[in-house]
Structure 1
Amino acid sequence: MAVETPLCDVGWTAPDFVLPGIDGRSWRLADAVGDKGLLVAFICNHCPYVQAIIDRLVRDAAELTAMGIGVVAINSNDAVQYPDDSFDAMKMFAQRHGLAFPYLHDESQDVARAYGAVCTPDFFGFDSGLGLRYRGRLDSSGRLPAGPDARRELVDAMRLVAETGQGPERQIASMGCSIKWKT
């Protein structure tokens, strides 16, 4: 079932976390922040909306990192009900798609709840002080990738955050599969 993210709560502060990464280390929020800000992306392996954008996210994350914006992805789905989202499957997914940013496992789902994440993908763009400035979509992709000339909304928004500390006034909600909560 497709779900849309709520409007951006501008200025809301990023909650801290400590989560295991597929690289074998524990990651804190402070470890992921760049000089100009941070993008926190809630994704998973099996969602068709994530699969439609993952290669673009990898491309865009490299560009954001070059701008001084840290990037981290978090998988909060219940891996018992959805084994394709298990920690081992996350490692294979990251390798297959060339993820060059930390991919973290939120097994307890506490981080997703603290952020108010609702779907995959769900993007939270923070300024250098960790105030929320963007909560929108990557681009116009849905269950299928957008065309090659699609506006790069996430990159444009985070470039604005990096340059001015402010996000765009107009933000279009991300759409994706609901987070698979534990029962």
Structure 2
Amino acid sequence: MMSPILICQLAPRAFSPPVVAPPRPRSILDYLFVDGHMGDYPPPPVEPLPYRDATILMSPGDYYSPSKGSLARIKYTFGNWTVLVPWPTVWLLRGRDSCPAPNCYGFAPSAEFGVPTFSGETALRTDLARVAPFAYPTLNAGLYTPEVDFVHGVAMSQNKYAQAARAVQEGQPVADAVKKFLT
């Protein structure tokens, strides 16, 4: 006859919780994909976090500013990560609404005009010259195709950007504002 202790040891435990793998830590790599102009990428290994904010940064000493080709930085926040995305300043003259939206996986499009450094920053691409406008999804303005080319190396001060942006907000076409203030 088996002892009650031995029977308990042999019987499967019906109340044991299922084994669930702990969530993996989020990597900065999860936020350095693009699927718009550059092509499609496979889905990420986990659900992406939504971005919390996007801000256009145009400081006088900005790494992407005048002598670097008039690329502004857009600051996105994903969970604990801050991702800085370079984007043509002339394509942002319509304001924050024309910032590129995170792609279909929820990631910031940091590889369009930069090279991800995998620390949240993005270094400038060295092969930029003239980039024809392409349609991209924006934060709040639907699909937007910029009216003007992005020309790498065309200097743009913060003051000139503000003047052109103000003219666009007042109803002037982007191409006219660029011709008047930025050429």
Shorter-chain TM-score tier: under 0.3
* Greater share of helix: 1
Larger radius of gyration: 2
| TM-score normalized with structure 2 length | 0.27
| TM-score normalized with structure 1 length | 0.27
| Structure with greater contact order relative to length (CA < 8 Å, sep ≥ 6) | 1
